[in-house]
């Protein structure tokens, strides 16, 4: 029995499910399979907060409509929690606590016994404090339960004909800040504007990391040379400065997911 069939069987056992749906490739596959199995007994819910780019929220709406699943949007208020905005190493714990403290009562009110998310098997081997928060609130992770990796998420999505199977990962905007640097709505909006600028240049896999008054652009290493040669750099710098940064730099190592976690061990921010 293949992993997709295992995933389908998980939803058959649930009978009803509310999907914590960000619009990313993982939760979108979960929403797709949930809808295919459960039809109107599946509901996708997206949390709208300042840490979600408006472009990504629109993508989530479009994808849900194409899948056919019922889709609702709720507000979350993690930005009102100092434990979140002070940006400790376990910031994600407080974000997911807010999310699931919002979704669980909604699910129970609507008659959905399960809240499911898009955590995949690879996520279990990374530092993801949000996973703990979700588990504490009874959420399930069908992709992880079916042992489906990130690569397999893309392969399955492609086999199902989902046009966004190769969509780049897009974690929340708060992930652009080094731990310990406080997060504000203004800073989030500044990063969002910069990333939108780069997307409009045709770039897909990218991050704009914020470090104080400096914006650090991360692109795949293989794309750096062409970016420098083809981009009007003075215009880009002026745009980023208009958005509120003082300095604009390019990370010569290149883009790597989870890069801000690399110093956690040496800084002793993750307790062993």
pLDDT of residue 257: 72
For residue 168, being part of any structural domain is answered with no
CB 235 within 8 A of CB 198: no
- Quick one: 128 and 197 in the same domain? no
Do 204 and 144 belong together in one domain?
Answer: no
In the listed set 116, 132, 159, which residue is the last one of a domain according to the structure? 159
Measure the CA angle with vertex 29, ends 119 and 39; round to 5°.
115
73 pairs with which residues across the strands? 46
In a domain, 238, yes or no: yes
Quick check: is 269 in a domain?
A: no
Ranges of residues in the chain whose predicted pLDDT is under 70 = 1, 258-272
Query: Residue 268's pLDDT is what?
Result: 55
Number of H helices, E strands in the chain: 12, 7
Long-range contacts of 219-222 (CB under 8 A, 24+ apart): 219/250, 219/251, 219/254, 219/255, 220/254, 220/255, 221/253, 221/254, 221/255, 222/254
Whole-number pLDDT of residue 219: 97
* Domain co-membership, 84 together with 146: yes
pLDDT (0 to 100) of residue 266? 55
Which of 124, 159, 194 is the last residue before a domain boundary? 159
| Statement to judge: residues 118 and 181 lie in one domain | no
Residues 146 and 46 in one domain: yes
User: How many domains, in total, are found in the chain?
Assistant: 2
Which of 159, 185, 215 delimits the end of a domain? 159
Closest CA to 84 of 173, 211, 23, 21: 173
Return the pLDDT at 126: 86
Bridge partners of 231, per DSSP, are none
Q: Which of 70, 46, 43, 49 is nearest to 60 (CA)?
A: 46
Q: Do residues 54 and 124 both lie within one domain?
A: yes
Structure tokens of 193? 């504007």
Cβ proximity of 218 and 207 under 8 Å = yes
pLDDT at 271 (0 to 100): 46
Backbone angles phi, psi at 50, to 5 degrees: -60, -20
Domain co-membership, 124 together with 237: no
The domain spanning residue 199 has which CATH number? 3.30.70
- Same domain, residue pair 59 and 126: yes
- By DSSP bridging, strand 115-116 and strand 70-75 are unpaired
- Give the number of other CB atoms < 10 A from CB of residue 242: 10
- Both tokens of 31, joined, read 């929403």
Distance, in Å, from the CA atom of 85 to the CA atom of 17, rounded to the nearest integer, reads 31
Q: What CATH number is attached to the domain comprising 97?
A: 3.40.50.620
Angle between helix 185-199 and helix 233-243 axes, rounded to 10 deg: 160
Check the CA dihedral 175-177-183-189 and report its sign. Answer: negative
> 144: domain range?
3-159
Q: What's residue 170's pLDDT?
A: 86
Beta-bridge mates of residue 4: none
| Chain segment 52-92, per-residue pLDDT in tens | 999 999 999 999 999 999 999 999 999 999 999 999 999 99
For the chain, the residue count is 272
Q: Are residues 94 and 213 in the same domain?
A: no
């Amino acid at each position: 029995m293949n992993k997709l069939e295992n995933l389908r069987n998980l939803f058959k056992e649930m009978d009803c499910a509310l999907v914590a749906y960000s619009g990313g490739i993982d939760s979108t596959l979960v929403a797709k399979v949930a809808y295919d199995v459960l039809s109107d007994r599946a509901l996708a819910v997206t949390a709208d907060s300042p840490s979600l780019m408006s472009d990504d929220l629109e993508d989530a709406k479009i994808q849900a409509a194409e899948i056919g699943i019922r889709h609702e949007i709720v507000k979350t208020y993690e930005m009102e929690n100092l434990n979140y905005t002070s940006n400790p190493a376990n910031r994600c714990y407080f974000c997911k606590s807010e999310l699931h403290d919002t979704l669980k009562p909604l699910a129970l009110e609507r008659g959905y016994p399960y809240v499911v998310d898009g955590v995949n098997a690879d996520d279990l081997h990374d530092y993801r404090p949000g996973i703990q928060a979700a588990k504490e609130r009874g959420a399930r992770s069908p992709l992880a339960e079916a042992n489906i990796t990130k690569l397999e998420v893309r392969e399955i999505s492609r086999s199902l004909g989902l046009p966004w199977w190769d969509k780049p990962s897009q974690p929340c905007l708060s992930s652009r800040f080094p731990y310990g640097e406080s997060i504000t709505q203004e800073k989030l909006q500044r990063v969002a504007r910069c990333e939108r600028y780069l997307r409009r240049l045709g770039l897909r896999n990218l991050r704009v990391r914020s470090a104080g008054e400096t914006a650090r652009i991360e692109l795949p290493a293989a794309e750096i040379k062409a970016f420098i040669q083809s981009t009007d750099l003075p215009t880009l710098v002026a745009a980023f400065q208009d958005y509120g940064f003082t300095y604009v730099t390019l990370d010569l190592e290149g883009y790597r997911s989870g890069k801000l976690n690399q110093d956690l061990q040496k800084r002793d921010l993750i307790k062993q």
